[in-house]
């Protein structure tokens, strides 16, 4: 059952990427039910994170917060501070989407600190780029250096997707400042 739940979660990811939300939800829900029945706390936390991300994609902010918060608590319960920090960053993403800039900044800063402590440069850089976006939107001059730091780290880790996203956002910041 545990392997089947893992496969269902992966199929849910594929369906979500392809835009088949009802099928993704069915796969995630079945995986979630199985993992709960098995009392697999880390597995339940991981699937809740996936469901939370889907909720965020669908702009169901309350659903996203509920799933990320529960996943955060479960990750702490099993002693996985790394994954708990990622959930804190995800809560920052929700806050940003809702327009709560100060709450987003707080979540991103907390997540970045923990991720740097555990050596996860990639996720620390992603959340730093998200923090830069929040700072850019509110006119904080730290945005440029945050983008530059995030881009440098992402280039070193080989994450081309987020490297490109934050490079484009740095360009948008330069354009907002009338810089060529």
Contacts of 16 (CB under 8 A, 6+ apart): 24, 50, 53, 54, 57
pLDDT in tens, 103-160: 999 999 999 999 999 999 999 999 999 999 999 999 999 999 999 999 999 999 999 9
Helices (H) and strands (E) in the chain, counts: 9, 0
Is the four-CA dihedral 27, 123, 135, 161 of positive or negative sign? negative
pLDDT in tens, 17-35: 999 999 999 999 999 999 9
In the predicted structure, residue 40 carries a pLDDT above the cut 90: yes
84 near 91, Cβ under 8 Å?
Answer: no
pLDDT in tens, 76-99: 999 999 999 999 999 999 999 999
In the predicted structure, residue 180 carries a pLDDT above the cut 90: no
Threshold 0.85, pTM exceeds: yes
Which stretches does DSSP call E strand in 37-179? none
Q: What percent of the chain has pLDDT over 90?
A: 99
């Amino acid at each position: 059952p545990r392997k089947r739940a893992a496969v269902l979660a992966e199929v849910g990811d594929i369906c979500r990427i392809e835009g088949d939300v009802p099928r993704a939800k069915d796969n995630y829900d079945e995986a979630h039910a199985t993992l709960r029945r098995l009392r697999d706390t880390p597995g339940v936390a991981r699937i809740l994170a996936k469901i939370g991300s889907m909720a965020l994609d669908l702009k169901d902010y309350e659903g996203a917060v509920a799933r990320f918060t529960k996943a955060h608590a479960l990750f702490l319960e099993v002693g996985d501070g790394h994954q708990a920090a990622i959930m804190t960053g995800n809560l920052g993403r929700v806050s940003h989407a809702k327009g709560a800039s100060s709450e987003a900044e707080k979540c991103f800063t907390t997540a970045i600190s923990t991720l740097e402590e555990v050596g996860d440069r990639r996720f620390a850089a992603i959340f730093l780029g998200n923090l830069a976006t929040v700072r850019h939107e509110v006119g904080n001059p730290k945005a440029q250096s945050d983008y530059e730091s995030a881009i440098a780290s992402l280039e070193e880790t080989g994450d081309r997707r987020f490297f490109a996203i934050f490079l484009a956002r740095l360009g948008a910041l330069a354009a907002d400042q009338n810089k060529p």
